[in-house]
Every structure is written in C-alpha cells, then in structure tokens.
Structure 1
Amino acid sequence: MADGNLSNQICQCTVGVVGICGNGLVCVVITKIHFMHTITNAFIFNQAVIDFFGSLLILLSSLIPIPDPIPSGVGGVLLCHVWVSKYFIWAIFTTSTFNLVALTLERYLAIVFPFKYPTLATRRNVTIALLCVWVSAFLFVTYNIFLRNLDNGKCLQRSVKHPKILGVATVSVIYMVPVIVMLIVYVHISVVLTKGAERVGPAPSAAAISGGGGAVDNQRESLMRARRNTFKTLLIVFISFTVCWTPNCIIFTLFSLGYEVDFSSTIYLITVAMVSLNSCVNPFIYAIKYKQFRKALKIMFGRPNQSDESSY
C-alpha cells in the first residue's frame, strides 16, 4: 500500500510539474505573439490558465501533508472543509470542463453561423462567457464543502439523504452533459465542414471581387484550412478529455449507485491519475496539431521571419 501511495505521489508530482510548465508556456505564447490574440485563443488561454492552476493544486496536494490530528479552531475547520474536501481541485476540474464546452460552442458559432458570429463574439460577450465559466463551476462544487465535518481532529465525510441523486447529478453536470453537448456539436461541425467553404467563409469584399475570383477562392480555401486545423486540434482535445475522464466517472457513478468501490485499489488510482493527466496534455496537443500555435512558438524562440496569420 505504501508503494502504491508513493507511485501515486510521484505520478501526481510529475503531472503537476509538466502541467505547470506546459500550460505556462501556452499562456506566454498567446500573450506575447500578436496574431494569437483571437477569440478562439482567448478561450484556449483561459483553458491554459485553468489547467495551470489545476496542475499547481495537484502538485501542492501531493507535497503538502495533512496534519493528523487536524488542529481545532477556524484554521482546522477551513482545512477540513476546503482543502481535505479537495474543493479547489474539483472546482478547477469543473471549470476546465465548462471552458472546454464554451470553446467548443465558440467554434460552432464561427463555423456554422459565420455571418452572425462577429455580432455574437464581441469582447464583452466573450468576457461574460469566461466569467460565467469560472463562477458557475466554483458555485456548483460548493456542495463539496458541506460534505465534510471536523470531529476530534478527524475530517469525516458527512452522510447525505440522497447520495445516489447527488452522485448521478454530479457526474451528469461535470461529465455526461458536457460530453453529449460537445459530441453533438462536433458531429454537426463535421457535417458543415464537409459541405465546403461556402458555408464557413465570410462574404468576399468588393476589393476582393474586383481583384478576381481566384484571389477570393484562395482566401476561402486558406480560411477553410485554418478552421479545419483548429477544429481538428480541438476535437483531439475533446477526445483526450473523454478518455481521461471516462474511467473515473464510471467508477464514481457505480459508487453513487451503491456498488462497493475500493478507493485504494490500483485501478482506481490509475483513473485518478488519468483525470490529473488531462491538466497537462493539452499543450502537447497544441504543439503537435495546432499550426498557429507552432508558428507562434517559432517566432517566440528566434524565428521572427514568420508572417502573421489571420484570425481563425
């Protein structure tokens, strides 16, 4: 059992460090490189910030021991209700999920409703959407604070009247509903993209028309390729999220429905590690698949001859 705990701690520390470095790099690149200042990249930046803090909390939770017994007083109560309950970690994980849904819907509006998109994707609306992602996630997970009780130096789990309802509702909000929504959206986007550039490209300007149909076609084709690349990148992010979260959510659902679950088993610890892994994997996906991000990396690390790219 000690070996299992040590292996889990090493895994959590590794994920935390890699996640901090990778997501920190994403934030720096988007901040420093001008052509990365797009609506889509604002959501990607927010995702990186969320995963950065998620990785930091994973690292801290693996390094900071919980005192036994937990001291009495306000400090001990806060430690029990906020830290031992893993409120912040689950709030960040939920924020990451909600932001991924928001990012997916932003791409859906841009690709399926290109003419309405400029009026909907304003700076004000994007700011409100990002704030809603954070506030709604942290508010939803507040129930976790009240599930703990400090008793004689022990932070004990409180019993609830309807644990099955609470468990299923939790899994539905942080996993099932987001996955279903994103799956439907990605399927629809795929259908739209297969119909050609006329559905995704903006209407050509008068200057572009006077310059010849070839220039307009090239512009549309370039925009189509860019949006397809972004779509494929985010689709991989969605698949990664689903793969990392599904095993743990299945186990948690079974536990909520009354099945016996060994939370010290190797299988369960692997599912926890997979959830944590989701906080550090996205930067690698961007570096491998996201052409705009790769170009920004080259510019930031000494290749300034690269030309700026248009908004995706």
Structure 2
Amino acid sequence: MCNLIASINESLNENRTSTPATHENSTQTTNVIPFLYVFFAILAIIDNFMICLLFLSHRSLLNQASNRFILLLATVDVLTVIIVIISPVGQVFGDNYPYPRDRSIGPIFCAVIGSEYFIWAFGFTSVYTIAILSIERLYMVVQPRYYKKLFTSSNVNMMIAGLIVLGLIIAMANPFQSRYEPYVKKPCKWVPLTKNEQINTILYTVIFVMQFLLPSTIISTCYTIIACKIRKISIMDVSMTHSIKSVNNRRVKRQVTLMIFAASIILIICWLPNQIYFLLVQLKVVETLTSIHLLTKILVIANSSLNPFVYVIFNKNYRKLMMQIFCKIYRRQFWGLRRKKVHLQVP
C-alpha cells in the first residue's frame, strides 16, 4: 500500500510547483548544473577566504568601516556556498541525496535545509551589506562631517549584528513554504504561504520589496547622489589647487567608491533574474521551469565568487596586499620543498 501511495505521489509531484532543490530530468542538465554549482562554490570559498586572510594579516585595515563590511560580506559568502554544497540545492549528490526519512526529523530538515533558509538568509545579509556600504560611501563623499560620528567602531559593530539579524528575518517565509512528504523520493515540497491567492499576492509582493527592491533602490539612489557630487567636485578642481596628500586621499576614496559601485552593479545583475522569476512563479504569472529556476540560482551563487575579483581589480591597495600574501605563501612552499630536497640529499 505504501509503495502504491509513493508511486502516485511521485507522478503527481512532477506536475506541481517544484521545491527549491528540484532536479532536471534530462541527463545534460543533471551533469551541467552540479558542475556549475560546485565550480562557483569552490571559487567563492577560495577567493573569499583570501579576502578574510588579507584582513586578518593586516588588522589595521579594519579601522575603516568599509573594510569591516567587506569582511562581513566575504564571511557570509563563504558560509552561503558551504551550505549550498551540503544541501540539496547544490545537487552534488544528484538523485542520491540522503534525505532523512524519520517523521520527527524530516519536517525540521525541510524547514531548515530543504527550504534553503540559511542560504537565502545569508544572501539577503549580503544584499543589505552592499546597501549599507552604499550609504557609507554616500556619507563619506557627501557628508564627511557626519561620517565619523555615524560610522564609529561601536556603531559599525551594531550595524553588522543588525545586518545578520535582518537577513535571518527577511528569509523567514522560506521555512513556512517547505512541507515534508515522507512517501516521495524528494520529500521537501514547496507550497504557497496561504491558501488565499489574494493574500499570497500581497505577501509575495511585500517579500520581493523587502528582499530585493528596497536595497536595490537604496543602492541606486546613493550612487546617483554620489555621481552628482563627484561631478561638482571635479568641476571645482579645474580652478583650484590641492596638496598632494589631499589629491591622494580623494583618489583612494574614489577607488573604494568605484569598487563598491561595481560590486553593487554585479549584485543587481546576478540577483535580479532570480528575484523576478521567483516572484512571477509565486504569483502564478509563469509556470515553473526547473532549468531556468536553477540557472537563476547559479547566478546568485556566482555573485559570491565575483566580489573578491572586484575588490582586487578596482582597489590598488587590496591588489598590493594580496600580492604580498601570495608571495609569502609561495616563499613558504618554495623553502619547504628546498629543505625537503636538502634533507633527502644528506647521506
């Protein structure tokens, strides 16, 4: 009887809205999707770990508010991709993922892991961290007098804690949308928040605004104001002379501002397809297409691996310090191998 129920449920499940970790049936997609997930995940772990190492080896950098937020961003990105690898969404295990079959553990697993709660919670922490960095740059360029008062060490620590809590709160809808069904192969089923479509429309619209539209608007507004301010400063510089120190300070500020602006643009490009597509699916405007859904998720994961490249490309100081770290690692490896060879040659 149980086998009959399982077969019926599986056949019905193929025509329903997929869970966040749904797999494509075609062999080609099954092979490509896990590879892309693992590739971007490993890349994100390595390059974000290097950014963390940079700050740990040069702790004086953490005196600047922007660098503390960037360290938070790197840490959260590493945690995100680690969870992706061990969860069903990463598809590393393919169809052999070890889902718990115990009725007491299964619902908890689906609510916490199957719903991808922490993946998106950390993801939204990253999104709002970029938004806070945009505000930080706005105060640095437009209101430097208030900058030191607002972005003190204690205030920045409170902001970082607030960003983590905010990410956890914004993703709270996920656990309520994942239901455990023990008689199917993939027991975590994605369900609507409520049975009322009108209420769902309101809820999903509010969630979309909070998760993506609001931080994107903050980012866009901040950099529009910054661009206008920088243009005015550039016009004034034509008729004014400044000390070398003043010019260098402005150059550094512009480098950091440009770096965060580039990271913001990449974030919007990588996140927009997933957020728009997910909203349209929840509102039943479009049908769920597994391949498109998974590709939009891959873009989100790719964003975590791209940020460190942006830091190094646009910031001369980061680039210099990163080269120093690579040189130290190379020297240690080189001298270690050399000592080994000498030791082997001794009779």
Give the TM-score normalised by the residue count of structure 1. 0.86
**Residue 58 and residue 157 in structure 1: after superposition, are their counterparts in 2 closer, same or farther (change >3 A)?**
closer
Q: 2:215 maps to what in 1?
A: 178
Q: Which runs of 4+ in 1 moved over 4 A?
A: none
Note if contact 2:178-2:189 (Cα within 8 Å) is conserved in structure 1. Answer: yes
**Structure 1 residue 193 corresponds to structure 2 residue 223:** no
SS at match of 1:301: helix
SS at match of 2:144: coil
Instruction: State which of 272, 277, 295 in structure 1 corresponds to 2:320.
Output: 295
Tell me the distance in 2 between the aligned counterparts of 1:296 and 1:48. Answer: 16
Note if contact 1:164-1:258 (Cα within 8 Å) is conserved in structure 2. Answer: no
- Aligned residue identity for 1:45: L
Instruction: State which of 79, 82, 87 in structure 2 corresponds to 1:56.
Output: 82
Structure 2: give runs of 5+ residues left out of the alignment: 1-25, 329-347
SS at match of 1:196: helix
**Residue 149 and residue 301 in structure 1: after superposition, are their counterparts in 2 closer, same or farther (change >3 A)?**
closer
Tell me the distance in 2 between the aligned counterparts of 1:286 and 1:176. Answer: 24
- Aligned residue identity for 2:157: T
Q: 1:204 maps to what in 2?
A: none
Note if contact 2:111-2:179 (Cα within 8 Å) is conserved in structure 1. Answer: yes
Note if contact 2:281-2:288 (Cα within 8 Å) is conserved in structure 1. Answer: no
Note if contact 1:26-1:48 (Cα within 8 Å) is conserved in structure 2. Answer: yes
SS at match of 1:260: coil
Deviation at 1:247, TM superposition (A): 1.4
**Residue 171 and residue 41 in structure 1: after superposition, are their counterparts in 2 closer, same or farther (change >3 A)?**
same
Note if contact 2:131-2:215 (Cα within 8 Å) is conserved in structure 1. Answer: yes
Q: 2:270 maps to what in 1?
A: 244
Instruction: State which of 171, 185, 190 in structure 2 corresponds to 1:157.
Output: 190
**Structure 1 residue 227 corresponds to structure 2 residue 245:** no
Q: 1:24 maps to what in 2?
A: 49
Q: 2:32 maps to what in 1?
A: 7
Tell me the distance in 2 between the aligned counterparts of 1:25 and 1:100. Answer: 19
User: 1:199-214 residue pairs with structure 2 within 5 A?
Assistant: none
**Residue 197 and residue 31 in structure 1: after superposition, are their counterparts in 2 closer, same or farther (change >3 A)?**
farther
Note if contact 1:23-1:52 (Cα within 8 Å) is conserved in structure 2. Answer: yes
**Residue 83 and residue 179 in structure 1: after superposition, are their counterparts in 2 closer, same or farther (change >3 A)?**
same
Note if contact 2:170-2:211 (Cα within 8 Å) is conserved in structure 1. Answer: no
**Residue 119 and residue 198 in structure 1: after superposition, are their counterparts in 2 closer, same or farther (change >3 A)?**
farther
**Cα deviation per residue 1:172-196 (whole Å; 9 max; x = unaligned)?**
1121111111001001011112222
Tell me the distance in 1 between the aligned counterparts of 2:280 and 2:65. Answer: 39
**Cα deviation per residue 1:128-168 (whole Å; 9 max; x = unaligned)?**
00000000110221221122222334323333132222222
Identity of aligned residues (%): 24
Tell me the distance in 2 between the aligned counterparts of 1:23 and 1:196. Answer: 34
SS at match of 2:33: helix
Is the radius of gyration larger for structure 1 or structure 2?
Answer: 2
Note if contact 1:17-1:59 (Cα within 8 Å) is conserved in structure 2. Answer: no
Tell me the distance in 2 between the aligned counterparts of 1:230 and 1:101. Answer: 14
**Cα deviation per residue 1:68-127 (whole Å; 9 max; x = unaligned)?**
5x4124322211111111111111111111111111111111111111111111111000
